[in-house]
Structure 1
Amino acid sequence: MIDRKHLVFPFAALLVAGCAASSDRYPSLAVRDVERAEGTFDPVPGPQLDVPEVEVDVGPDLGAGLTSLVADAQAAHTAFTDAVPAAERSVRAASGSSIGSDSWAAAQVALADLDSARSNAAIVLGELDTLYTAATVQAEDATAIVEARNTVIALVSEEDSVLERLRAQVR
């Protein structure tokens, strides 16, 4: 039987000899003249994009439309704040009660009523978001829209914090 150790050395010598063969049979890997980039290239102009106008329904006067939307949000916020004391009473009554009890169910209904009141302000925020997007796409001045939007965002954020506080008491 032939020992494999004795075959390894001659085989390795043959491999090394193959690496030492002359390189004139193989092409050079150096950069060729045609591979060198010279000169300048002018970019090909792309097609011009036609941005369609976004239709928004705020009436002919944007300022009056924004004032009306903010007034709607404030009215929705007033309805929300008017419903908060009743919801707080229901939540206090349900505090510590088991899930599915009558007091827990009453608190869930009161929280759902608050969610519904909050959604009225969120609808206005959605309309303001649409106006803001349309103005931005058309590259128009959106300063007045941003101010109205920030006002409504503050109202909705306040409502969100009230809902979060009340929901934490019922769980």
Structure 2
Amino acid sequence: MATLISACAGSADRYPSLSLRDFERVQGQFPTADSQPEQLRPSPLPVAAVEQISDAIGEARTRHSQFLAQAEKARGVVSAARGSNPDDKRWAMALIEIAELDSHHGVTTGLLADLDALYAKASLEFQQREEVAQAQAEIAQMVASEQQTIDELAGLLGPA
């Protein structure tokens, strides 16, 4: 066993030194990155997207105006049907008015869904989204108002 161990302890000049050599030492100065990294900015929305936003807002405003006009008519029909039972023709007419309001509301909600898809696309393509978000907020407010009106009229009519 001693012979095997002594074989590992050969002469030191046969093997290179394991200490650092001159070329392994780091020398000189290396430039460092700026303390403020460059901010990436999203690209502007394509013209087609801006037009889509403008069209959606215009359409939503038109539809919302139609909804409000229809809601006034429906309010009168629902008030006349209040307290009646489902067998009464007034109750059926009120229910039809509420259904028409819900149809108008569905169109406005669809416009909001289109803007949601546009917002997602702009996010994925690293485009500016502020204009889309503003349009979403405006149309979402219309959608909430319409839903509140529908719920109010349905509550006035009462359960079937």
Q: TM-score range by the shorter chain?
A: 0.5 to 0.7
Per the alignment, residue 55 of structure 2 pairs with 68
Give the alignment's Cα RMSD to 1 decimal: 1.6
1:170 to 2:157 alignment: yes
Per the alignment, residue 112 of structure 2 pairs with 125
Per the alignment, residue 107 of structure 1 pairs with 94
Q: Structure 1 regions of 5+ residues with no counterpart?
A: 1-57
Secondary structure of the corresponding residue to residue 61 of structure 1:
helix
Secondary structure of the corresponding residue to residue 98 of structure 1:
coil
How far apart are the structure 1 equivalents of 2:80 and 2:133?
A: 41
Secondary structure of the corresponding residue to residue 139 of structure 1:
coil
Residue identity opposite 2:81 in structure 1: A
Query: 8 Å contact 1:59–1:65 — kept in the other structure?
Result: no
Residue identity opposite 2:48 in structure 1: D
Return the match for 1:84 from 68, 71, 87.
Answer: 71
Query: Aligned runs of 1:7-156 on 2, under 5 Å?
Result: 60-156=47-143
TM-score normalised to structure 2 length: 0.67
| Higher mean C-alpha displacement, 58-67 vs 160-169 | 58-67
TM-score normalised to structure 1 length: 0.63
Shift of the alpha carbon at 1:119?
Answer: 1.3
How far apart are the structure 2 equivalents of 1:152 and 1:100?
A: 37
Aligned pairs, number: 114
Query: How much identity, in percent, do the aligned residues show?
Result: 23
Shift of the alpha carbon at 1:164?
Answer: 0.8
How far apart are the structure 1 equivalents of 2:87 and 2:142?
A: 32
